[in-house]
Amino acid sequence: MELMKITDVYKTYDLGDIKVPVLKGVSLTIATGEMVALMGVSGSGKSTLMNILGCLDRPTSGSYWLDGQEVSALSIDKRALVRNAKIGFVFQSFNLLARTSALENVAMPLSYTAVDMSEREGRKRAAEMLKRMGLGDRMDHEPSQLSGGQQQRVAIARALVNHPPLLLADEPTGNLDSRTSQEVLQMFQQLNTAEGITVILVTHDPDVARHAKRVIHIKDGVIEADAAAAAVLAGAHAGGAQP
Amino acid sequence: MRMFRTLRTAFRALRRNTLRAALTTLGIVIGIAAVIAMMEIGNGSSSAIRRTIESMGANILLIMPGQAASGGVSFGAGSIMTLTAADAEAVARDCPALGVVAPVVRVRTQVVYGHNNWVPMSIYGTTPDFLEVRDWTNLDEGGPFSEQDVRNASKVCLLGQTLVRELFAGESPVGKEVRVQSVSFKVVGVLSRKGANMMGQDQDDILLAPWTTIKYRVSGTSATTVNQSASSASSTVNSLNQLYPGAAGGLYPVPSTTQAADTPLPVRFANVDQLMAAANSQEEIPAAIEQMTDVLHERHRIKPGQPDDFIIRDMTEMTKALSSTTVLMTKLLLCVAMISLVVGGVGIMNIMLVSVTERTREIGLRMAVGARPRDILRQFLVEAVVLCLAGGTMGIGLGRASSLMVTAFLKWPTEASVPAIVAAVFVSAAVGMTFGFYPAWKASRLDPIEALRYE
């Protein structure tokens, strides 16, 4: 079953006199339960595509269906609701609220949920999430009292607290050492296989991309390669080797 | 529920930087404290001034008999005798806006004690209520005469300070007898000093006695109706006497000498020269005038459309002049206090702007996880309002405390004002709304992508 489908998406930034085309006709389908890595060097349009997939931005033209809903034409408020209910974000720099306990950080998105939830229920759900991330004993710690890996796990718990079908991770291991990176990536894999959550990893690192089942390579605003991880990565390596 | 959650989020955000929040509110605290203190001091002094004005007689109403006119010539106030002591009683009984009413009979004649004599400015025949009307109940010596004295037309009197000085030269006058036009009065009390009134007249140059005594024993007739031409008519020929109304001449047949000797005149005119009334307060003066007019219309059987046979005067101008000063002062102080509130509000705006810039990433994150622009707007607005309300609450406390201190140390009168406190709460919330809106709006307009990337 397909979770998202973008068709012929263009994105052009209008800088007054000149128009800068960033995405030039991207079409892409991702099914529920996939684990996809979105790769590309900086300036390739990878971040723009991610923003559009994350409903943070609207394409200049083209359509975007997410979970059976056309979201490319939605208003700002409606897109906020879509983000809240259907997409979990994980960022490179964790983006946790300072001087706020892990539990409250995780419960934060619930306060923007359209369906009102009681305070106690919200905290219970947040606590459950943290336990699942193996942070049951760190709920009252503030971000400054947690290690990088723990912070990123708090961020993942926050992304999952509303049970979204899609998890969008933007360079989730960029600020972590290799050992904790492995832990975090394994956590994504486990979420993907055990719970069927669709994961999109945005990265430029082939080692991170290797954890995905499918790799989409973006270059100059178009999809250059879209295949099983091994094939694309091998191709990329081969391409990189040949001048 | 949602509001409650927003409130808690705001408290949490403010707690993350307690010191800054406290310093930010300082402007509001000082502003509100200044407003409260100014209001209380202003209220205190204006009610102190109002009391002073009232003691000067600003809420006094004068009811004079109307004017007679004949052939187009008016004879001046008091030329018809329409007011009676019974009117005074009726007015006092039927006008709720009036405190006390006293009838007044005036004469102007010589007062003699021993070998000293003096013509006081005013000799008033009245009732004990007069002292209350003029706020003159504290006597220097002795006591007032009684209602009983009024009924009996007792020959007792109260003397003003000037009269005491001129006649007694240091002696205590109480218990002594003074003569007013060959009628001897026992002095029962001495009035306290009042000084000159607004027009420069010496208010202490006065003798007070029961109106019955003055009317029936001293003057025999109402002072203002002593028509010089009429009183001189018996000794000199005045041909104009036929043209203008004299004393009783026109009303009753002139008795023959025998008749006059056999039957002393049984008719006693009970008219008085004026009524003096005190309204309960300055605010009730218009109501008092209206009620008195109604009562007198009824008693004098004046139909609608007919001219009144009485004139009511109040001291509006004096009241206005004096109270407008305090109102002006209070307003001025309030303006100054308001300026400090505005300065406080600008401080709030400043810090909220800094806070928005500082928390750009937080705003971006909140938007990414589903906050709509209006959620962000509300969050920052609520934060500003919470800051201002907290400042307002502290300011009310501080203002109360400082006005209490002003009373304690400077002995200035202050008066707690509930409207000022209620207004302060609303004003501080309004300041929060006004000055918090721009930063909040700015925050809500952030682009989540940019905000998330913000360093």
Tell me, letter by letter, the H, E, C secondary structure of B341-404: HHHHHHHHHHHHHHHHHHCHHHHHHHHHCCCCHHHHHHHHHHHHHHHHHHHHHHHHHHHHHHHH
The number of angstroms, rounded, from the C-alpha of B373 to the middle of its chain's C-alpha atoms is 55
Q: For position A192, what pLDDT does the model report?
A: 92
Put simply, the answer to whether A109 touches B369 (Cβ < 8 Å) is yes
Put simply, whether B415 touches A (Cβ < 8 Å) is no
Pick B369's closest partner by Cβ from A57, A76, A108. Answer: A108
Predicted confidence at residue B437, as pLDDT, reads 94
Looking at residue B286, its pLDDT comes to: 86
Write down the mean pLDDT value for chain B: 83
**DSSP 8-state code for residue B273:** S
Can you tell me whether residue B112 is helix, strand or coil?
Answer: strand
For residue B220, what pLDDT band results from cuts at 50, 70 and 90?
low
Neighbours of B96 (CB within 10 A): 11
Burial of B89: CB neighbours in 10 Å, binned 0-12, 13-18, 19+: middle
Q: What is the DSSP letter of B278?
A: E
pLDDT mean across residues, chain A = 88
Name residues whose C-beta falls within 8 Å of residue B422's C-beta, 6 or more positions apart in sequence: none
Confidence of residue B77 (pLDDT cuts 50, 70, 90): low
What global pTM score does this model have? Answer: 0.68
B83 pLDDT band, cuts 50/70/90, is confident
- Which amino acid is residue B334, in one-letter code? L
- Give percent above pLDDT 70 in chain A: 96
Tens of pLDDT, residue by residue over B241-267, are 455 554 545 556 676 777 766 765 545
Measure CA B233 to chain center: 47
Taking the Cβ of residue A85 and every Cβ of chain B, the question of whether any pair is shorter than 8 Å is answered with yes
Other CB atoms within 10 A of residue B111 CB: 21
Indicate the range of A11-15, A72-76, B96-100, B411-415 predicted with least confidence: B411-415
Dist CA B125 CA B107 (whole Å)? 8
Nearest CB to A112 within list B361, B371, B452: B371
Which is more confident, B44 or B199?
Answer: B44
Work out the percent of chain B whose per-residue pLDDT is above 90.
28
Which segment of A144-153, B67-76, B85-94, B136-145 scores lowest on mean pLDDT? B67-76
Query: Is the CB of A89 inside 8 Å of chain B's CB atoms?
Result: yes
| Residue B361 at interface with chain A, using a CB cutoff of 8 Å | yes
**Which of A182, A144, A188 has its CA nearest to residue A170?**
A188
For position B199, what pLDDT does the model report?
73
| H helices present in B194-315, as ranges | 211-213, 228-231, 257-262, 285-299
pLDDT for B136 beyond 50: yes
Please tell me whether residue B109 adopts helix, strand or coil conformation: coil
Q: Which of B313, B291, B271 is nearest to B57 (CA)?
A: B313
Q: Is the pLDDT of residue A243 over 70?
A: no
Angle (CA) B225-B227-B231 rounded to 5° is 120
Could you tell me the pLDDT band of residue B427, with boundaries at 50, 70 and 90? confident
Q: How many CB pairs under 8 A join A and B?
A: 62
Taking CA–CA distances from B14, the nearest residue in chain A reads A99
pLDDT above 60: residue B316: yes
Strands B156-159 and B206-210: antiparallel
Query: What is residue B248's predicted lDDT score, i.e. its pLDDT?
Result: 47
| Strand-pair partners of B310 | B65
Question: Quick one: pLDDT band at residue B1, thresholds 50, 70, 90?
Answer: low
Cα separation, B283 vs B335, in Å, equals 26
Determine the number of helices (DSSP H) and then strands (DSSP E) in chain B: 15, 14
Whether the per-residue pLDDT at B84 is higher than 90: the answer is: no
**C-beta separation of A9 from A58 below 8 A:** no
What is the tens place of the pLDDT at every residue in B331-380? 888 888 888 888 888 888 998 999 999 999 999 999 999 999 999 999 99
Measured N-to-C along each axis, helices B316-358 and B360-368 cross at an angle, to the nearest 10 degrees, of: 80
Q: Which pLDDT band holds residue A9 (cuts at 50, 70, 90)?
A: very high
Return the H-helix or E-strand segment holding A82: helix A76-86
Q: Residue B343: which of B25, B121, B127, B90 has the closest Cα?
A: B25
For chain B, percent of residues with pLDDT exceeding 70 = 86
Task: Please state, in angstroms and as integers, the Cα–Cα distance from residue B5 to each residue in A105, A108, B152, B362, B380, following that order.
Answer: 14, 11, 81, 17, 13
Query: Are B370 and A76 inside 8 Å of each other by CB?
Result: no
Q: Report yes or no: B208 and B157 within 8 Å, Cβ to Cβ.
A: yes
B12, two tokens? 């949490």
User: Is residue A237 scored above 60 in pLDDT?
Assistant: no
Whole-number pLDDT of residue A240: 41
Of the candidates B55, B69, B131, B75, which has an alpha carbon nearest to the alpha carbon of residue B100? B131
For A175-225, write each residue's pLDDT tens digit.
899 999 999 999 999 999 998 999 999 998 888 888 899 999 999 999 988
List of E strands, B30-72: 60-65, 67-70
The reply to whether A109 touches chain B by the CB within 8 Å rule is yes
Looking at the complex, report in whole angstroms how far the Cα of residue B331 sits from the nearest Cα belonging to chain A.
46
Residue A137 burial class via C-beta count within 10 angstroms: exposed 0-12, middle 13-18, buried 19 and up: exposed
The contacts of residue A29 (CB under 8 Å, 6+ apart) are: A2, A4, A5, A6
pLDDT higher than threshold 70 for residue B453: yes
pLDDT score, position A43: 85
Q: Does residue A64 contact residue A4 with C-beta atoms inside 8 Å?
A: yes
Smallest CA–CA distance, residue B362 to chain A, in Å, is 7
Provide ipTM, 2 decimals.
0.92
Give the 3-state secondary structure percentages of chain B, helix then strand then coil, rounded to 5: 55, 15, 30
Find out whether A108 and A132 touch, Cβ atoms under 8 Å: no
